[in-house]
Structure 1
Amino acid sequence: MRPIKQLENRFTRCPLALAMLCLSAPVAAEHVMPELMISADAQASVFSVSPARALTELQKTPGGVTVVDAQDYLTGRAGTMEDTLKLAPGVFIASRFGSDEARISIRGSGLQRTFHGRGLLLLQDGVPINLADGGFDMQAIEPQATRYIEVERGANALRFGGSTLGGAINYISETGRSAPALSLRAEAGSFDYQRYNLSVGAAKGALDGFASLNFQEQDGFRDHANQRNTRFVGNVGVQLSPQLENRTYVTVVDTDSELPGNLTYAALKANPRQAEAGSLNRDAKRDFQLYRLANRTALTHADGGVTEFTAFAAKKMLFHPLSFARLVQNSRDGGIGLRHTQPTQWLGAQQEHTVGVNWRRGLTVDEQCSYVITPAGPGGTPPAVSAPAGTHPCATLTKSNKLTAHNLEAYAQTRWSLTPKTDLTLGGQWTDAQRKVAPGDVPAPPRYDQDYQRFSPKLGVLHHLTAEIDLYANLSGSFEPPSFSETFNNLPLKAQRAMTTEVGARGHVQVANAKLGWDASVYRAKIRNELLALDVGNNRSATINAGETLHQGIELGLSARANAWRAQASYLYNDFRFVRDASVGNNRIAGVPDHVLNAEAAVKLPGDVWFGPTLQSASRAWVDHSNTLAAPGYSVFGLKLNQSLSNGVAWFVEGRNLGDKRYANTTGVIFDANGADAAQFSPGDGRAVYVGVSKAY
């Protein structure tokens, strides 16, 4: 039995009712953490700053940036990336069947992928989660081991060397200096959802450590949608001297996900809980194990400069039966990074300079085998599949490739204070990437060895209109070589490149006894060779290079807080279209609604109980680039009730889609539906209620 399975079995013997009894009260919305006392000989950790300080640093950027405090999303169910990021300005995220896997996109990056994301740099504590070819897995992230999340949209992610259209999302872990000594949390609810988390943290002198073990399982709203995840996340830090700190991170993930497939819209309206027949008959699923080790070392110099070295290694094993074949992949990825930040004071002004280099390499052994082909029935029609799911043998190894990805990224950025109120930022990134496909055990040409190189510049201006209000503008380039999952039939694709302009404002004002805040950006990206993923049937996808496309839109975040009430909203306007395309003219690019709104509000009841509504709303979303088939718009409402007590106990009750609306939360993407209904719709979950309790010691 795998070691993590042994932990999982021990962790799940106590049912939810007993877990609640063990916690002696309800769990976590916003738990109140006991204050940690750090000894005088231990300096504050470079890798463990508060969310407020992280936001202050981020807002030196002349562009759209956000910090999501984990204490905000822990007031309700906190099981997926959608739960954590749905209120983050500029982020579009929609789960495909209530699971970890989702369509996640910023400014239209990788917007047609509903699994194994791309177009974003996903990091954990500043170290890439992405495989070397650019793809990433949502299941690699544990929301309940996270202290806060940094979102840097577009080229605002240059401080990590990111050059994608979408930017970067950085999950910052709890450490032994920030976490409670012991924290227990349990969640349960509709569709047999259950989730348990145990975490510990400790600090003594120069040493600290944090560890989190999480188990989650759900039967799912739909048939054949069971998901089971076990994650261990931990880190150990040591301050070798007042100037030198090292931290090591360990992640182990074991995840099994059944795949229910997409439905026609007629089938969705008739019975949204059903699974697509091909996925059910072939027992389609996406299971993998991930082992990841990362390390960060930071040296703080006497003049205020900081030199940071990072390294990581990851091993992933994927088992992925689909309706057309069974895929097996074994991946090994690793990388190193070096970054130096230096403050200076020249010509009577202050500056900050950053230079860095990242190198990553990945090798994936990719194998595909076909199923036994069942003979056709009378009249040439295929017979009904009667064998139980999972019994279809793999008949022949039809594909075996060795996929190698290399990336070398060198970047630099300098920020000058031109006046006490105005900063100028100049920067750029050079990418040298290689994608190589070589024969494995089954030679099946074509093969390729493709190199991608490009420089992406950045120019930005930040003006402090007042102490509370910033205005900004920037012009930046982006560059994205294709991932291996986008090279259908082993044909190389061109790299996607773009130039983006952005203007915006952020700030807060005090009105009576309420603090009102906003974060607003308007952007326009002219893209060449956009990587567009298409569903080509039978659960298969292909990616093409479009010619010229245009992405423009509005990213708006609003918040209001007072003693007795609070509210938060995130609005997106997405105008993504082709430009004079020979086939579809200036049509909208399929895969994302034009308008998206997520909001929640709450009032304080007696006993510091918070109660209020939630809203998730989206307009029509095209399914095909020919703009003949669309998912209708929808609005779903919920309610949330939570309380946080001074003794570290917290609890919540959350209702979602209380009107039990039948709607498509996301869709596949095809080129032309010819106006006919197609099996491309992924139903949103029906009416659901979740409860949770936590205790922090």
Structure 2
Amino acid sequence: MHSLKVTKQHTRISYIMLFMLSAGNLYAAETSTEEPVNLSNLIIEGEKGAGQYDKTLLNDQLLDVPGGTNLVDLSEVTTSQSTLSDVLGNEPGIIMQEFFGGNDQPRLNIRGSGIQDNPVNRGVQLLSNGLPLNQADGSFIIGLLAPQQMRYVSVYRGANALQYGGATLGGAINMIPRTGLNSNNFVQAEGGSNSLLNGNFGVGGANESWDYYISGGQAQSDGFRNHSESERIDLAFNVGYQINDNIENRTYFNYTDNYFQIPFVVQKGIALDHPEAVLGDGYASAYAPPSALPAPAVNHPSFGWNARGGWDGVFNAYKRNPRRESEQFRLANTTRMSFDHTDHELGVFAETVDDVFTDPLSHAVVEADNFGIQYAFNTTGDLITSQDDLLISLTANQGSMPTEYWVNNPEDGTRLFQFADLDMDANNVALNMQYTAKVHQRVQLVTGLQWLHYERDIKGTASTPPSQGFDKVVADVNQDLSFDTFNPKLGLIYEADESVRFFTNLSRSMEAPTFNHLVTRTVGALIVPGETSPPSPPFTDAEIASGAVLKDLKAQTAWTLELGTQGEWQDTSWQMTYYHSKVEDELITLVTGFAVNAETLNYTDGTTHQGVELGFNTNLGNNLLLGGDSLNTNIVYNYSHFTFDGGIYSGNQIAGIPEHLGYVELAYQPNDKILIAPNMRWQPSDTYVDHSNTQVQDAFMLLGIKASYKATDAFRLYADLDNINDETYQTSYVIRGISDVNQPTFLPGQGFSFSVGATYSW
């Protein structure tokens, strides 16, 4: 069915791409009679036009943050950039856990924020050119992000992105798109294991006042597991107009269509012995059913668990066909005005997202609309001290996310019975003020205050779940929640010299629950489609064995103390940050034995998130083997220690994040054309997958090699070899209150794999 869908979308995309390319060519022909512009000569480093983001400006902005940050220049990534994990997975403080290995839904974690929320991710504010990418309820679909469309990525770890309205424990990630002023033209082709095919292009132009850039790509893979095919199509276009030396306006259009099959989790024994297998391949029938099932549901001679073939029969991936199809259209516009001491920035955006997520038991069909506006005012001068900076910003957005919930037909994965139809609306306002003063020649004071107002409104109808009786009642539901808070911030930056700095800050964060938290769904696994004779028992009746209820949750808040240093000395650079967060009302999601139904609650007692984020780069030597060669090393280490302070899990580790995770890369360059970089990703200790700390993800070590060859200034070849030691490991898992070996919990990691590609730029 998806092939037909893709064929129609290919036709639509072809027309859009043809239109944009034609428009670009017509524009170029009409606005310039000179020779075509060589974009490589237009990349400006270290100068600031009206609102123009370049690497120097972005780095300066991050240096003014008294906390942990990252800056990635994708032009310096010489190997694969096909997934977000390729771009951010080896950065200090950022932990990416792959799910299925394609264009899917990797778990993005910063400081333990939103570690349990997948596939509906939350806990980090995603931005494009400073404008929010999250849905209005704070959630985001990570598979819609296309790294090839980005030129820079700025990361503000923790509550350090006040100017963008960031308020989460995890922080914010701001992606700066490619434009006609910061990127060359390019074409890229990539192929590899599991029938991976990935093609991308970018074409732009510029004259004195105008610039434009069009980029797009298509990626597809069969996946290393059964039932794990994926395909993504993306297209982006932006045009900028320099009104004068002080004012710039830019418009962005983005389209993304992402599809992937879900191979689902399996028991640990299957993950170890048959990592490519899914439920339905015949390896899971020997595992006992969930203990929560009543005896009649297990032993019924016609409809029971055993009669249906156990895990392989009830959760057959080929029949139930779990998958996700997401399509996004986004339009945004920014106007920036820069004067001697004052900057103004106004941004607006609108987007639609159609998202159909089909897990083994149910459909969630979302048609979301999101609109937002952002204004920022920044002025510098001698307001109080000799060198002050005042930032005031307002971010507001409103979104509707009407959602239908359906029980799946277990025979073919189609929609069988609608058990909830909900209109869900979210409104958000963030008013931010930050004052920075140089109180001493080497000391910078940063103070901030943020006011937040969030609304979450849900109306509609829902079936009563089994806990309220076997009555087949469809009830009206109505819930209006609002969340208000003030988040203060106080920080200091000490510059030991021009290249070494120390920093500290104390900040507060707040995260409101998403709609996925507020709606608790229950779906029976033993549903029987249609009428049966004799009548089927209640636990197989879709109208009785499924339903939804609304939760009344509090916002999650935290106080975070942060200390760190960043600097360069001779051929060495480093950054190190320690953070300690005391979290109240943490949003904890508990998944049931089926690994599908889930309930979110505010943990009754406090929790503590603390850790160390370390990045270290140094040159180990030059002229070692050949004249002109060099050897450099990159070391990343993340220590994450998250614990329950009290309650039923008192003293236990919060499941989901490895306590120790390291990455080491040795980059050898025999000359300026060749790079050979063996690397190692190491998770040295087992990681708990449940809050009761009973079952673990095994420790692992993965070896890899990255290589690239710059044949000419324009043409580059590259290759990535991953897991060359063919380690059997689990890449991620379902987080429960307590897990049992009989429950499907783990996602197997991919064995040895490779990708090779070529890039031509001009």
Partners of 1:440 and 1:193 in 2: CA distance: 43
- Per mean C-alpha deviation after superposition, the further-off stretch among 627-636 and 441-450 is 441-450
Indicate whether 1:421 and 2:426 are aligned: no
Contact in 2 for aligned 1:473/1:501 (Cα 8 Å): yes
Choose from 443, 453, 461 the match for 2:492. 461
Partners of 1:222 and 1:291 in 2: CA distance: 30
Deviation at 1:441, TM superposition (A): 9.1
Q: Which amino acid aligns with 1:232?
A: L
Indicate whether 1:294 and 2:332 are aligned: yes
What's the counterpart of residue 5 of structure 1? Answer: 10
Distance of aligned partners of 1:10 and 1:635 in 2 relative to their CA distance in 1, 3 Å threshold: farther
1:151-171 CA deviation, whole Å, 9 max, x = no partner?
Answer: 101111112121100000011
Indicate whether 1:485 and 2:516 are aligned: yes
Q: Which amino acid aligns with 1:660?
A: D
1:571-615 CA deviation, whole Å, 9 max, x = no partner?
Answer: 11001000021x121100001110011232211125621112111
What's the counterpart of residue 678 of structure 1? Answer: 743
Choose from 52, 55, 63 the match for 1:51. 55
Query: How do residues 623-642 of structure 1 correspond to structure 2 at under 5 angstroms?
Result: 623-642=689-708
Q: Which amino acid aligns with 2:448?
A: G
Deviation at 1:9, TM superposition (A): 7.1
- Per mean C-alpha deviation after superposition, the further-off stretch among 639-648 and 453-462 is 639-648
Indicate whether 1:542 and 2:579 are aligned: no
What's the counterpart of residue 627 of structure 2? Answer: none
Contact in 2 for aligned 1:665/1:683 (Cα 8 Å): yes
Contact in 2 for aligned 1:311/1:337 (Cα 8 Å): yes
Deviation at 1:397, TM superposition (A): 1.8
What's the counterpart of residue 500 of structure 1? Answer: 560
State the structure with bigger RCO (CA 8 A, min sep 6), 1 or 2: 1
Tell me which structure has the larger Cα radius of gyration.
2
Contact in 2 for aligned 1:551/1:575 (Cα 8 Å): yes
Partners of 1:185 and 1:692 in 2: CA distance: 7
What's the counterpart of residue 396 of structure 2? Answer: 359
Contact in 2 for aligned 1:287/1:319 (Cα 8 Å): yes
Contact in 2 for aligned 1:255/1:287 (Cα 8 Å): yes
Q: Which amino acid aligns with 1:281?
A: K
What's the counterpart of residue 156 of structure 2? Answer: 152
SS in 2 for 1:82: helix
What's the counterpart of residue 217 of structure 2? Answer: 214
Deviation at 1:106, TM superposition (A): 0.7
Partners of 2:612 and 2:192 in 1: CA distance: 35
Indicate whether 1:474 and 2:474 are aligned: no
Q: Which amino acid aligns with 2:557?
A: R
Contact in 1 for aligned 2:702/2:725 (Cα 8 Å): yes
Partners of 1:577 and 1:337 in 2: CA distance: 37
Partners of 1:295 and 1:656 in 2: CA distance: 40
- Per mean C-alpha deviation after superposition, the further-off stretch among 355-364 and 271-280 is 271-280
Contact in 2 for aligned 1:118/1:136 (Cα 8 Å): yes
Query: How do residues 96-245 of structure 1 correspond to structure 2 at under 5 angstroms?
Result: 96-100=99-103, 101-180=105-184, 182-245=185-248
Contact in 1 for aligned 2:40/2:183 (Cα 8 Å): no
Greater than 4 Å deviation, 4+ residue runs: 1-4, 7-12, 440-443
Q: Which amino acid aligns with 1:344?
A: G
Contact in 2 for aligned 1:600/1:614 (Cα 8 Å): yes
1:438-459 CA deviation, whole Å, 9 max, x = no partner?
Answer: 1169863443110100101100
Partners of 1:239 and 1:542 in 2: CA distance: 51
Contact in 1 for aligned 2:112/2:642 (Cα 8 Å): yes
TM-score (norm 1): 0.90
What's the counterpart of residue 348 of structure 2? Answer: 311
Aligned length in residues: 649
Indicate whether 1:594 and 2:654 are aligned: no
Contact in 1 for aligned 2:93/2:614 (Cα 8 Å): yes
Distance of aligned partners of 1:9 and 1:346 in 2 relative to their CA distance in 1, 3 Å threshold: closer
Choose from 571, 576, 583 the match for 1:520. 576
Indicate whether 1:35 and 2:40 are aligned: yes
What's the counterpart of residue 81 of structure 1? Answer: 84
Distance of aligned partners of 1:6 and 1:622 in 2 relative to their CA distance in 1, 3 Å threshold: same
Q: Which amino acid aligns with 1:403?
A: M
Query: How do residues 250-399 of structure 1 correspond to structure 2 at under 5 angstroms?
Result: 250-277=253-280, 278=315, 279-301=317-339, 303-346=340-383, 349-372=386-409, 387=411, 391-399=412-420
Deviation at 1:89, TM superposition (A): 1.2
Partners of 1:652 and 1:188 in 2: CA distance: 11
Q: Which amino acid aligns with 1:208?
A: D
Contact in 2 for aligned 1:473/1:504 (Cα 8 Å): yes
Indicate whether 1:689 and 2:751 are aligned: no
What's the counterpart of residue 378 of structure 1? Answer: none
Contact in 2 for aligned 1:459/1:475 (Cα 8 Å): yes
Indicate whether 1:668 and 2:734 are aligned: yes
What's the counterpart of residue 17 of structure 1? Answer: none
Taking only the aligned residue pairs, the percentage that are identical comes to 28
Q: Which amino acid aligns with 1:556?
A: L
Distance of aligned partners of 1:575 and 1:436 in 2 relative to their CA distance in 1, 3 Å threshold: same
Deviation at 1:542, TM superposition (A): 2.3
Distance of aligned partners of 1:9 and 1:479 in 2 relative to their CA distance in 1, 3 Å threshold: same
Contact in 2 for aligned 1:139/1:255 (Cα 8 Å): yes
Choose from 589, 592, 612 the match for 1:533. 589
List runs of 5+ in structure 2 lacking aligned partners.
18-37, 281-314, 464-473, 521-548, 623-629
What's the counterpart of residue 20 of structure 1? Answer: none
Contact in 2 for aligned 1:339/1:355 (Cα 8 Å): yes
Contact in 2 for aligned 1:87/1:568 (Cα 8 Å): no
Deviation at 1:684, TM superposition (A): 1.1
Distance of aligned partners of 1:327 and 1:611 in 2 relative to their CA distance in 1, 3 Å threshold: same
Contact in 1 for aligned 2:360/2:408 (Cα 8 Å): no
Deviation at 1:145, TM superposition (A): 1.7
Choose from 680, 705, 727 the match for 1:615. 680
Distance of aligned partners of 1:614 and 1:115 in 2 relative to their CA distance in 1, 3 Å threshold: farther
SS in 2 for 1:188: strand
Query: How do residues 10-21 of structure 1 correspond to structure 2 at under 5 angstroms?
Result: none
1:37-69 CA deviation, whole Å, 9 max, x = no partner?
Answer: 499xxx954444322331122111111111011
Distance of aligned partners of 1:500 and 1:214 in 2 relative to their CA distance in 1, 3 Å threshold: same
1:57-90 CA deviation, whole Å, 9 max, x = no partner?
Answer: 21111111110111333x2221111111012111
Deviation at 1:498, TM superposition (A): 0.4
Deviation at 1:490, TM superposition (A): 1.9
Contact in 1 for aligned 2:461/2:477 (Cα 8 Å): no
What's the counterpart of residue 400 of structure 1? Answer: 421
Contact in 2 for aligned 1:48/1:175 (Cα 8 Å): no
- Per mean C-alpha deviation after superposition, the further-off stretch among 663-672 and 45-54 is 45-54
Partners of 2:592 and 2:325 in 1: CA distance: 23
SS in 2 for 1:286: strand
Partners of 2:239 and 2:49 in 1: CA distance: 12
What's the counterpart of residue 432 of structure 1? Answer: 453
CA RMSD of aligned residues (A): 2.1
Q: Which amino acid aligns with 2:586?
A: E
